Structures are given as structure tokens and as C-alpha cells.
Structure 1
Amino acid sequence: MAVIGKLWGYLAQRQTKVILAAAAASGLDIDIPHFEFGVTNRTPEFLEIFPFGKIPAFEDSTGFALVEGIAIARHVCSLAPESGLLGRDARERALVDQWVQFTEYEIVAFNMEIRALHSGRLGPHSKELFEGLICRQGRSLRYLETYLASCSSGFLVGDQITLADLALAAATQQIGRVTCGAAERALYPSIFAHYDKVVSIPGMKETFGEPEFVQERLAYKENQ
């Protein structure tokens, strides 16, 4: 496969998985330099290219540099337009963007905030706030479940995989490790069937790794 550049980031990082999955689905390859958070991204060489020190970070052979996971993933997909990963026409492209944003703001964002509350990184909080976030994420998941159940192809847009599916699969893996235990996964069979469908595509299993889903979802704990 053609090497399109270098990507700094952790292989276990959700955004990195989406980028590498996009490359695999596009028939492209990306070099992954050794990376140590707080060390590599604080070196003068790294900060000269990426002044904010954020990962994932991408640079191609011409010196073109990008940060932000979805922006990098979109760029990767654009290098193989025949893949259809960004949609095959204007309507499909809009739908791909719609579902990518839905995934980021209605699923991932809640998951991150729930984890932060649980760990105490956001300071003192209440059970009402914690459970409120669980409920809000649940509302989004119910909407997504209903939509996916109506998709005969099993994909979010049209009849083939797109960037939206890759983004959702990475998010689904994340919630399956945090807010969706076995009982919750049973409530959303279409969402987790979608995950299984995506990771069964050649090259995806290696990128996503083992799901490592929890049996019991993260529960509220009193502040320490």
C-alpha cells in the first residue's frame, strides 16, 4: 500500500483508530513513529510542526500538517475518492458529515464527561448529574438504534462503508467499555451489530483490536 505520511498518536486512541481504519479502507498506509505522550509532543522538533502539542498529528512528505482526528481521517479518505468513504454524491457527503458529528457530540462527548466525573477530574459532583448524563447519552443511543434498525445495508449511509461508520464503530467500542455493559448492549442490538459488521471488514480487526467490553456499566460513586 502507498505510504501517505506519518501519524503521531496512540494506537489505542479512538481518533487514531478512525484514521488508521480510514487508511486501511482506502488501501493506503501511514507510518506510525514511536510516540511517548508528554515527551515526544514536547520536543522542539514536534512543536515546530504542531505548536499546540496535540495528538493525533499527521504530516505528509510535502510538509503538509494536520491535527484533529476527524480532519485527518477526512483528508486520508479524500486521497482515495474512489473508495466512497466520504460519500458518492453531495447528499451522501452531507449525511456522512451529519453522522460523524452526531457520533462526536451525542455519544463520545457524553462518554468522556461521564468518565471524567467518575474519576473526579471535574471535581465534586452529584449522582443526579452523573445519571443525567447517562440518560442523555441513552436518548442519543435510542435514536441511533432506531435509525440503524431501519438500514437494510447495516451501514449509516447508503449501501457501503463510509467514514461515518468508522467513527461510530470507534465510539461504540468506547461506550462498550464504559457506559454500556451487557444489559445496555442488549438494548441496542443494531448499534453493536453495526460494530461487528465494521470490524469484520478486512483490515479493520487489526486496527480496532479486541473490544474488551465490560459486563457492568460504569456506576456512580460518592466523591472521595
Structure 2
Amino acid sequence: MTLIGKLYGHILQPQTKVIMSVAALSNLEIDLLPFEYGVTNQSPEFIQKFPLGKVPAFESLNGFKLTEGAAIARYVSSLVPDAGLLGRNAEETALVDQWVHFTEFEIHMDASMIYAGAGLNMLPGYNADRHKWHEERIVRSLRFLDNYLEKRPSGLLVNDNITLADIFLAVAIQRVGQTACGTAEREQTYPHVFAHYAKVMSEEKIKAVFGEPEFIEERLVCN
């Protein structure tokens, strides 16, 4: 594997999982540095390189610096075009970008809010109304997605191979399975969505990065 740089971030961070999965599929190596949130990313050395203190943050061997998880993942995907992670033509690349944005803003964002608010009790002011609002957004998106995937012979988003879009969706659905979908929802309500997750996880290089899904039996509630 070819070393291309180093990444500041935690392996449990969803976008870090995507970046490291992309690197593995492309036979590229990224040095994931030891990281302590609020310490590493606030050190003078880090702030000098990345003034906003945001992670994940990437630095290549030649000093090229990049933040924002989706941008880093897309950059790494572009380094080995033959891996096909950005699609095989301009139209497929546009679809990859479409699904990445959809996944991040229509599914993952809401699932993460439920995780922090109802799962970890870390959001001041989080209440039943706010919880319901996030749930409704997830339901709307998953219904649309399940219907779309049902019609896909490959079970994947763009073509017959795993793309960056599929990896982003998998990391979002992992969070959904930890928050908004219990066993009944996974098996009965959104079977094609979770079949997609299983298909992506059948790629051993991705599974090794993602780890165990830690799905819940009953969806989280907020009283």
C-alpha cells in the first residue's frame, strides 16, 4: 500500500470511517494519528495548520492540507480512478455527489442529533418535539431510499460497484440502526436499506474499518 499522508480524527467518527475505508479500497495508506478531542485539535501545532480546529483534517506527504470529511474522502477517492469510487463517467460522478449530500444532510445529520440528544443526553433543550421532528425527517428519507433501492438490481446506489456514495450511506445507516431503527424497522420497514448496509459490509476492507454495528433492538425515544 502507498502512504499518502496523515489524518487527524477518531476512528469512531463517521467521516473518519469513510475516509479510511476509501483509502483501504484504493490500496492507499493513511496514517491515522493518535487523537484526543479538545486536546489534539486545540494544540498550537494543529491550529497553525488548521485554524478552525476541525476534524477530520488531512495533510499529504507534500504538505497539502484539507478539512471537511466529504472533501477529504472525495480527494482520496480521486487518487486511484481505477477503483471506481467516484463512478465511471461524469453522470455517475454527479450521482455519487448527489447521494453523498443526500445522505449527510437528509439522514446522518438527524440520526446524529437523536444519538446525541436521546442516546447520550448531551444536547441541552433536546425534547420530545425536537426528537419527533428528527424522526420524521429520517422516516421520509428512508421511505424514499428503500423504494429506490428496491428497484436497483445491484442493491447499490449508482452502479454495480461500491462507490463513495455507498460508503457514506453505510456510515449513516449504521448511526440510524443505533438510534431511529430497532429490529422491527430494520427487518420489516426498511429491508432494502439495511440490505444495502449488509452488502457494503460484505467488503472486508470496509467492515474492518467500521467495526461492529451495535444496532439496538428498540428505537430510541425521548420522554
TM interval, shorter chain, is over 0.9
Is the 2:107–2:137 Cα contact (8 Å) retained in structure 1? Answer: no
Once the two structures are superposed, residues 113-133 of structure 1 have per-residue CA deviations (whole angstroms, 9 ceiling, x without a partner) of 3334432614153x3332232
Residue 50 of structure 1: aligned partner: 50
Residue 65 of structure 2: aligned partner: 65
Instruction: Give structure 1 regions of 4+ aligned residues with deviation exceeding 3 angstroms.
Output: none
Question: Any unmatched runs of 5+ in structure 1?
Answer: none
**1:37 paired to 2:34:** no
Change (3 A) 1:150 1:65: same
For the residue of structure 2 that corresponds to 1:203, the secondary structure is helix
Is the 2:58–2:65 Cα contact (8 Å) retained in structure 1? Answer: yes
Is the 1:21–1:207 Cα contact (8 Å) retained in structure 2? Answer: yes
Given candidates 197, 200, 210, the residue that maps to 1:198 is 200
* Cα separation, 2, equivalents of 1:28 and 1:163: 15
* Cα separation, 2, equivalents of 1:128 and 1:56: 31
Once the two structures are superposed, residues 50-77 of structure 1 have per-residue CA deviations (whole angstroms, 9 ceiling, x without a partner) of 1111111100011101111110000000
Once the two structures are superposed, residues 171-215 of structure 1 have per-residue CA deviations (whole angstroms, 9 ceiling, x without a partner) of 111111111111211211111111111111131111010011001
1:145 is displaced (CA, Å) by 0.4
For the residue of structure 2 that corresponds to 1:31, the secondary structure is strand
Alignment map for 1:135-174 (pairs within 5 Å): 135-174=136-175
For the residue of structure 2 that corresponds to 1:213, the secondary structure is coil
* Cα separation, 1, equivalents of 2:77 and 2:104: 18
Is the 1:116–1:122 Cα contact (8 Å) retained in structure 2? Answer: no
TM-score for the superposition, normalised by structure 1: 0.94
* Cα separation, 1, equivalents of 2:42 and 2:97: 32
Once the two structures are superposed, residues 95-118 of structure 1 have per-residue CA deviations (whole angstroms, 9 ceiling, x without a partner) of 001110110111011112333443
Question: Any unmatched runs of 5+ in structure 2?
Answer: none
**1:81 paired to 2:77:** no
1:37 is displaced (CA, Å) by 1.0
* Cα separation, 1, equivalents of 2:161 and 2:211: 22
Residue 184 of structure 2: aligned partner: 183
| Cα RMSD after superposing both structures | 1.2
Amino acid at match of 1:87: G
Residue 217 of structure 1: aligned partner: 219
Change (3 A) 1:124 1:3: closer
